[in-house]
Structure 1
Amino acid sequence: MIDRLLWAQQQALLLFEEAEKRQLVAPGKTESVLNNEIYELAFEMFGIRKYWHKRIVRAGANTLLPYRENPPDLTLQDDDILFFDFGPVFEEWEADLGRTYVIGNNPRKLKLQSDIATAWQKGSNFYQAHSNITGAQLYQYICQLANDDGWQFGAAMAGHLIGHFPHENLENEKPDNYIHPHNHKPMRANYASGKPRYWILEIHFIDPELKIGGFYEQVLH
């Protein structure tokens, strides 16, 4: 199963890379326009229209906000930061990929872009090093990484389950489904059926004073 999840993730990476090659991230464009351009690019490249969660493009002050928010549509600026959070479904396998982009050369924004990628890798290493780690323990570790780098962690959870479409419903708010401060269950525990569980690790660091945030997510494996 993990091989198929990683395959789906690789397709999503190819999508984001092609969006960069085509210079779709450009000032003067609204979040919604860019969102639709990536949606159409995914159809052009892979013939897909199915997404297991809402497609997110957030720029500027909207990058402070976690997934569940639905802020007003912003226009990308010459000196901006933005992120993608897309959950395309490839041959019934779910991807969930988040990446941050910087327009211009603002050093604080570039640092944020770098720090979240590094934090994801540190979080992955921490997960691999602790066989009985709980969601609460990994969440606490990620929050500490944010503080160590001079940021705040911007969400109530740092990831969730992922799988074959449709995977277990995540809307029921059970902490066990999330990398969450109230999830005290070992992350490597199987489903009740005995099947293994797989996780997405999400990094969302923010600076409320500068009104910027960065987001990076992909499969833990």
Structure 2
Amino acid sequence: MSAHPKEAVGAAYNIDAMRYAQSMTWQAIEQLAQRIRPGMLESEARELGKQVLADLDMQRIWHPLLVRFGANTLKTFKQRSEGDPILGDNDIFFIDMGAVWQGHEGDAGATFTTGNDPDMIACANAAKDLFDRVQAHWKDHQVIGLELYRYAEEQAQAMGWDLNLDIKGHRVSDFPHAIHRGGDLGDFEHYPNAGLWILEIQIAHPCKPYGAFYEDLLA
């Protein structure tokens, strides 16, 4: 592996531990999603998520747990939710978790729906579909980080969704990755190696007040 300085890791870094942390994060997301129900407040779902992580023996949270309902699915990571909405019978929500297992940073996110609203279901599915397209482009063509998000924007437009380019992926590694100052994946002018970067996809419905989010480790 030919790594750039922005891909620096600590002495404890291990790709198998990285993948384990990621798999545990996905397990937590799936457990939480199954327990979120219509009538629940966004804040209640967030507290439930903290309990799920604790029950799975995570070592610590390395970024704040996010659960977004309805129109709050348009908010970026750094934006606060608007109010404390109640999840409806036909609604959309996403979960974004970042927790540490075996000294390594897991980070994953996905969008879910309640009820049978076809546009919401299509939006949630599109975020995952777009992620898969971009990840395949990374694997098949060995492209740089900048190109990944150019490609993501092109594909999102072709699919009929608006890509939020304020969200452009980031580094992970053994905790804490922040000491390496890797920056955003979408600004990285080199080929991103496996097991070091989170590809983030956030889209908005072109005319309705909600969106969808999906992120996973490029591995």
TM-score greater than 0.5 by the shorter chain:
yes
Letter in 2 for 1:6: R
Letter in 2 for 1:24: R
Count, aligned residues: 205
Say whether residues 1:140 and 2:146 are aligned partners: no
Say whether residues 1:38 and 2:49 are aligned partners: yes
Q: Which runs of 4+ in 1 moved over 6 A?
A: none
1:152 aligns with 162
Say whether residues 1:17 and 2:30 are aligned partners: yes
8 Å contact 1:157–1:179 — kept in the other structure?
no
CA distance in 2, matches of 1:134, 1:155: 16
Q: Report the alpha carbon displacement of residue 49 of structure 1 after superposing the two structures with TM.
A: 5.8
Q: Report the alpha carbon displacement of residue 10 of structure 1 after superposing the two structures with TM.
A: 0.7
1:192 aligns with none
Q: 2:190 aligns with which of 162, 165, 186?
A: 186
CA distance in 1, matches of 2:107, 2:51: 18
| C-alpha distance 184-88 of structure 1, shift in aligned 2 (>3 A) | closer
Q: Report the alpha carbon displacement of residue 117 of structure 1 after superposing the two structures with TM.
A: 1.2
| C-alpha distance 145-85 of structure 1, shift in aligned 2 (>3 A) | same
CA distance in 2, matches of 1:128, 1:141: 13
Letter in 2 for 1:71: S
Q: Indicate the SS of the match to 1:85.
A: strand
1:95 aligns with 106
| C-alpha distance 135-157 of structure 1, shift in aligned 2 (>3 A) | farther
CA distance in 1, matches of 2:48, 2:23: 19
Q: Indicate the SS of the match to 1:139.
A: helix
1:41-60 Cα distance to aligned partner (Å, 9 max, x none): 221232x3611111100011
8 Å contact 1:65–1:154 — kept in the other structure?
no
2:5 aligns with none
Say whether residues 1:211 and 2:209 are aligned partners: yes
Q: Report the alpha carbon displacement of residue 169 of structure 1 after superposing the two structures with TM.
A: 4.4
| C-alpha distance 184-96 of structure 1, shift in aligned 2 (>3 A) | closer
CA distance in 2, matches of 1:155, 1:188: 18
8 Å contact 1:200–1:220 — kept in the other structure?
yes
Give the alignment's Cα RMSD to 1 decimal. 1.9
1:126 aligns with 137
Q: Report the alpha carbon displacement of residue 12 of structure 1 after superposing the two structures with TM.
A: 1.2
8 Å contact 1:94–1:163 — kept in the other structure?
yes
1:26-74 Cα distance to aligned partner (Å, 9 max, x none): 111111110111111221232x361111110001111011111012322
2:4 aligns with none
Q: Report the alpha carbon displacement of residue 208 of structure 1 after superposing the two structures with TM.
A: 5.1
| C-alpha distance 3-49 of structure 1, shift in aligned 2 (>3 A) | closer
TM norm structure 1? 0.86
Q: Report the alpha carbon displacement of residue 91 of structure 1 after superposing the two structures with TM.
A: 2.3
| C-alpha distance 157-42 of structure 1, shift in aligned 2 (>3 A) | closer
Q: Report the alpha carbon displacement of residue 107 of structure 1 after superposing the two structures with TM.
A: 0.5
Q: Report the alpha carbon displacement of residue 179 of structure 1 after superposing the two structures with TM.
A: 2.3
CA distance in 1, matches of 2:195, 2:59: 26
Residue segments in structure 2 that go unaligned for 5+ positions in a row: 1-13
Say whether residues 1:113 and 2:101 are aligned partners: no
Residue segments in structure 1 that go unaligned for 5+ positions in a row: 190-195
